[in-house]
C-alpha cells in the first residue's frame, strides 16, 4: 500500500470516528455556506475573495454582482443556527485563509466546528477531549499518540497520553511556569522588558497583543502538552472578541486552545451572546485591522441581530488535519493532505 493511500485511509477512519462520537452525544450535523457576503474581522486573517454575478437579461440595466468571500470559519453561520433552537450542532467544513503556508498551515484545510447549547467552555472541552481519545483508539488501538520531535531539540519523548481529562492551564499560569512572569496587568513597556529577559526580541512598535503573542509563540506553545494534551485557558480579553469574559476578572475571557506536543489543535470559547458588546468587540477588531493596514470589512448585521436569541453555549473549532498529524506522527501538514498547496503551487513560499 502506498503512503498516500495509507494516509487517505487514516483520514477516512478519523472522520468516521469523529462522526460516530458526535452522533453518540446527540450532536446534529449541519451545513452552512462556504461563500459568504461578510468576511470575519480577525485582525491577522486574510480571506479569499470571489464574486457572484447573477444571470440577468441585458435589458435589466443593472450588474447585480455581489462580492463574496470564502469563509475562514463557519462560526457566524452556525451561531445563527443556534438562535433557531439548533442546540448541539457540528459540521466538518472546508475553510480558507489566504497566505497561510507553513509546516502546520495550508491555505485550504478542514475544521470540525461544534457547539453545545445550553453549555459553556467546560461543556465543550469535556466533549472534545473524549472525541480526541476515541479517535486515537480508532486509529491506533489505544488513547495515545506517537512521540514527536522535541521542538528544535532533536529529541523524541514517550508516546502522548490522550486519556481524559486533559491538563487545564490558564495563560497566566503558563507564562509564569515557562517564561517566569505574569503578563496580565503589565503595560506594553513592562511586557516588552519582561519578554527581553527571556530572550524574546520584540519588534519596534509592537502593541501589547503583539508582544503577548510573540512570547506565546516562542516560549509558551513549544512547552505545552508534551506528555498529555493541555487546554490553555483564560486568554486576554483583547484576544477573544467572540468569547464571554471571565466572571470577576474582565481582563481575561472564556477562550481556550488545545495543545498536544506543542501543536495547536483547537480554539474554542464560552460564546458571547451580548449583541451590543459583540458589536463593540468587532469594531475594535476593525480598528486593529486598519492599524495593520489590512482591509476593513463591514460588520455582519444578520449575525449580530441573531445573538440575543443565542442561548448560553460553548463552541470549538478543531483542526482535523492537525489531529491527523498528531495521531499518525506526520511532521508536516503536507504529509496528511492529498493535494498540499506546497506541491500544487510550487512558486509559493512557506513560512
pLDDT per residue as tens digits for the range 11-58: 999 999 999 999 999 999 999 999 999 999 999 999 999 999 888 776
Question: How far apart (Å, rounded) are the C-alpha atoms in residues 341 and 350?
Answer: 10
Burial class (CB in 10 A: 0-12, 13-18, 19+), 220: buried
Average pLDDT score, the chain: 94
What is the per-residue pLDDT for 198? 96
What is the per-residue pLDDT for 43? 93
What global pTM score does this model have? 0.94
What is the per-residue pLDDT for 151? 45
Torsional sign, CA 100, 103, 108, 114: negative
What is the per-residue pLDDT for 1? 82
Question: How far apart (Å, rounded) are the C-alpha atoms in residues 129 and 46?
Answer: 30
Residue ranges of the domains in the chain?
Answer: 3-36+72-166+228-344
Phi, psi for 103 (deg, rounded to 5): -60, -25
What is the per-residue pLDDT for 59? 57
What is the per-residue pLDDT for 152? 42
Phi, psi for 255 (deg, rounded to 5): -110, 145
Which residues does the chain have with pLDDT short of 50? 151-155
Topology given in CATH for the domain delimited by 3-36+72-166+228-344: BirA Bifunctional Protein; domain 2 (3.30.930)
Q: Which of 318, 315, 237, 238 is nearest to 270 (CA)?
A: 315
Amino acid at each position: 500500500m502506498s503512503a498516500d493511500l495509507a494516509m487517505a485511509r487514516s483520514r477516512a477512519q478519523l472522520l468516521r470516528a469523529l462522526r460516530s462520537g458526535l452522533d453518540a452525544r446527540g450532536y446534529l450535523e449541519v451545513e452552512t455556506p462556504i461563500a459568504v457576503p461578510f468576511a470575519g474581522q480577525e485582525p491577522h486573517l486574510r480571506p479569499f475573495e470571489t464574486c457572484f454575478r447573477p444571470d440577468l437579461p441585458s435589458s435589466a440595466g443593472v450588474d447585480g454582482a455581489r462580492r463574496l468571500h470564502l469563509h475562514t470559519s463557519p462560526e457566524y453561520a452556525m451561531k445563527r443556527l443556534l438562535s433557531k433552537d439548533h442546540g448541539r450542532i457540528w459540521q466538518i467544513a472546508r475553510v480558507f485563509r489566504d497566505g497561510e503556508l507553513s509546516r502546520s498551515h495550508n491555505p485550504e484545510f478542514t475544521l470540525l466546528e461544534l457547539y453545545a447549547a445550553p453549555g459553556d467552555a467546560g461543556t465543550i472541552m469535556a466533549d472534545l477531549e473524549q472525541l480526541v481519545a476515541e479517535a486515537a483508539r480508532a486509529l491506533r488501538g489505544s488513547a495515545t499518540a506517537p512521540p514527536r520531535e522535541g521542538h528544535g531539540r532533536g529529541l523524541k519523548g514517550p508516546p502522548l497520553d490522550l486519556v481524559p481529562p486533559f491538563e487545564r492551564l490558564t495563560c497566566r499560569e503558563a507564562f509564569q511556569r515557562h517564561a517566569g512572569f505574569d503578563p496580565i496587568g503589565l503595560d506594553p513597556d513592562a511586557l516588552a522588558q519582561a519578554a527581553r529577559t527571556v530572550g524574546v526580541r520584540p519588534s519596534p512598535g509592537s502593541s501589547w497583543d503583539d508582544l503577548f503573542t510573540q512570547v506565546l509563540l516562542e516560549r509558551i506553545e513549544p512547552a505545552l502538552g508534551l506528555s498529555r494534551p493541555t487546554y490553555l485557558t483564560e486568554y486576554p480579553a483583547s484576544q477573544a472578541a467572540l468569547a464571554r469574559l471571565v466572571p470577576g476578572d474582565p481582563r481575561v475571557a472564556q477562550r481556550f486552545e488545545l495543545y498536544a506536543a506543542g501543536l495547536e489543535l483547537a480554539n474554542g470559547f464560552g460564546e458571547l451572546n451580548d449583541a451590543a458588546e459583540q458589536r463593540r468587540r468587532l469594531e475594535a477588531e476593525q480598528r486593529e485591522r486598519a492599524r495593520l493596514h489590512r482591509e476593513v470589512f463591514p460588520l455582519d448585521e444578520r449575525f449580530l441581530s441573531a445573538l440575543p436569541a443565542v442561548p448560553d453555549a460553548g463552541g470549538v473549532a478543531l483542526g482535523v488535519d492537525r489531529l491527523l498529524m498528531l495521531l499518525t506522527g506526520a511532521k508536516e501538514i503536507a504529509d496528511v493532505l492529498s493535494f498540499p498547496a506546497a506541491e500544487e503551487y510550487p512558486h509559493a513560499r512557506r513560512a
